[in-house]
Amino acid sequence: MAATSTALLADDHKKHPAKGDPSFTTIFDGKDLSKIETKGNWNIQKDGSLHLTPRAGEKGWTRYESYIWLKEDYADFTFDFEYKHGKGGNSGLYFRCADKVDPTKSGFEVQILDCYGKKKLGQHDLGGVIRTAGPTKNMAKPAGEWNRMTVTMKGNQLTVVLNGEVVQDIDLAEKKPKDKTLVASGKICIQDHGQPFTVRNLRVKKL
């Protein structure tokens, strides 16, 4: 029975969770910002999304306090959200970050990038894990359309579902760069890359 349950759990990670799944905690529901921390210019929109408009002089990705940070630490989890960007859009979902000082140093990033129609994919393309593994397929939608990403970490196993398709299913401990440590528990955040970017329906489940 245990083996069967584990197999079912693994299969569940290879698809987007049901929208109304009560086992998830809503991080942003279109109104409440109490479960996130950020010093970035993220503003609630009339449609219930959360939109980033960079302020004068804000560019690049090194303003880590401007990222959207979940308040708790997470070990095994599933994080599900939707996002939208313009032409040339760039962002990322970070996880297992040891602290909030520098997520690029201590954590791992699933890349978000405008690469619709691109044939040859690498680690820096949508669904790739930076310095670790490129996506298995290009599931990018055209700029301006909503995308959905579900990221699951169970032990060392990382699964990424993008717009209905699995693009990562790897043992992160085996694939990671030798100079990086995979911590057992850490922070989750969404990058502020100094470009307009919109997210909605942020929710997380501890496994």
pLDDT at residue 10, rounded to an integer? 64
Residue 182 pLDDT:
96
What is the SS3 assignment for 197? Answer: strand
The DSSP secondary structure of 56-71, one letter per residue, reads: TT--SS--GGGSEEES
Q: What are the residue ranges of helices labelled H in 13-149?
A: 103-106
The answer to whether residue 71 scores a pLDDT higher than 80 is: yes
- pLDDT, tens only, 80-119: 999 999 999 999 999 999 999 999 999 999 999 999 999 9
Residue 9 pLDDT exceeds 60: no
Instruction: Return the pLDDT at 5.
Output: 44
pLDDT of residue 11: 74
Q: Which SS3 state, helix, strand or coil, does residue 170 take?
A: strand
> Count of alpha carbons within 13 Å of 122, Cβ hemisphere only?
2
**Per 3-state DSSP, what percentage of the chain is helix, strand, and coil (rounded to 5)?**
10, 35, 50
- Positive or negative: CA dihedral 55, 148, 166, 19: positive
Q: How far apart are CA 82 and CA 151, in angstroms?
A: 12
- Rounded mean pLDDT, 13-36: 95
Average pLDDT of span 4-14: 63
pLDDT at 12 over 90: no
Residue-wise pLDDT tens digits, 27-46: 999 999 999 999 999 999 99
| Average per-residue pLDDT for the chain | 94
pLDDT of 133-189, one tens digit each? 999 999 999 999 999 999 999 999 999 999 999 999 999 999 999 999 999 999 999
Find the helix or strand (DSSP H, E) in which 172 lies.
Answer: helix 172-175
Domains of the chain plus CATH, in order, are 2-206 (2.60.120.560)
Q: What is d(CA 105, CA 164) in angstroms, rounded to the nearest whole number?
A: 30
Cβ-based neighbours of 129, under 8 Å, separated by 6 or more = 108, 109, 110, 111, 123, 158, 160, 168, 170, 172, 175
Starting at the edge strand that comes first in sequence, how are the strands of the sheet with 187-190 ordered? Answer: 36-37, 68-70, 187-190, 90-97, 108-113
Contacting residues for 159 by C-beta, under 8 A, at least 6 apart: 13, 14, 151, 152, 166, 168, 169
- With cut-offs at 50, 70 and 90, classify the pLDDT of residue 4: very low
pLDDT score recorded for residue 13: 86
